[in-house]
Chains A and B, each alone.
Chain A
Amino acid sequence: KNQVEQSPQSLIILEGKNCTLQCNYTVSPFSNLRWYKQDTGRGPVSLTIMTFSENTKSNGRYTATLDADTKQSSLHITASQLSDSASYICVVSGIPQGGSEKLVFGKGTKLTVNP
């Protein structure tokens, strides 16, 4: 069972609109949470890394929030552009199910921005 769940699975919006992607995780204990952007056929690129003590972090038009109590994170994209079309991957670093520390990757949300 994947311990990082992302929603929605896919999303289509119009250029200029805002959107919010969700990430729920059960990995515990938790070390940090990352958001990556992956263009089709390319490697992921880091957007933000947040530790449990941080509840918001911005990178340009991207703002990530984290609620470590409810184990939820969101990625808000403001004034979307065509170049925002990509998959957005939530990654949690922690110790799932009593094992060793590891990165657990979500399956991603595929965002399409249409003109």
Chain B
Amino acid sequence: DGGITQSPKYLFRKEGQNVTLSCEQNLNHDAMYWYRQDPGQGLRLIYYSQIVNDFQKGDIAEGYSVSREKKESFPLTVTSAQKNPTAFYLCASSIGPPLSTYEQYFGPGTRLTVT
């Protein structure tokens, strides 16, 4: 069963703690992305990666970090420097280069709540 998995579905953290969101894909896609979705807002790009060991900042990278040590995995760390971390986080992947006509496939999302 191919696809993108994100875990956990719900995550609760205290303010000041770093937290890592998992994203795994078995679609053999080269490109992977992290987006943030807030109520009443469009999705905003946090980071993207074209290949292993390479990643680029998106529009709202401050307070976030990523790694791409394996093709299948693109974890996102929300650091204590992120001012408003509570949001719905979506991971996506595509077979070809980012920002092209290649379709992006999204994971089920992780809802992070920081109190």
Contact = CB atoms under 8 A, between A and B. Distances in A.
Interface of A: 2, 4, 31-32, 34, 41-46, 49, 51, 89, 93, 101-108
A43 B40 contact: no
B99 A107 contact: no
B85 interface: no
Contacts of B59: 102
Contact of A103 (B4, B45, B107, B111): B45
B106 A44 contact: yes
Contact of B101 (A31, A89, A104, A105): A31
B43 interface: yes
A31 to B, nearest CB: 7
Nearest to A4: B42
Interface string B27-47: 000000000000011111100
A89 B43 contact: yes
Contacts of B77: none
A42 B109 contact: yes
Contact of A45 (B100, B106, B109): B106
A2 B107 CA distance: 24
Given A42-B109, A43-B109, A46-B104, A93 B41 contact: no
Contact of A107 (B42, B90, B103, B105): B42
A89 B43 CA distance: 9
Please provide the 10 A-B residue pairs with the shortest distance between their CB atoms, ordered closest to farther: A43-B106, A105-B42, A105-B43, A101-B99, A107-B42, A44-B106, A32-B101, A46-B103, A43-B107, A43-B109
B8 to A, nearest CB: 13
Name, among A43, A51, A101, the residue most crowded by chain B CB atoms within 10 Å (CB to CB): A43
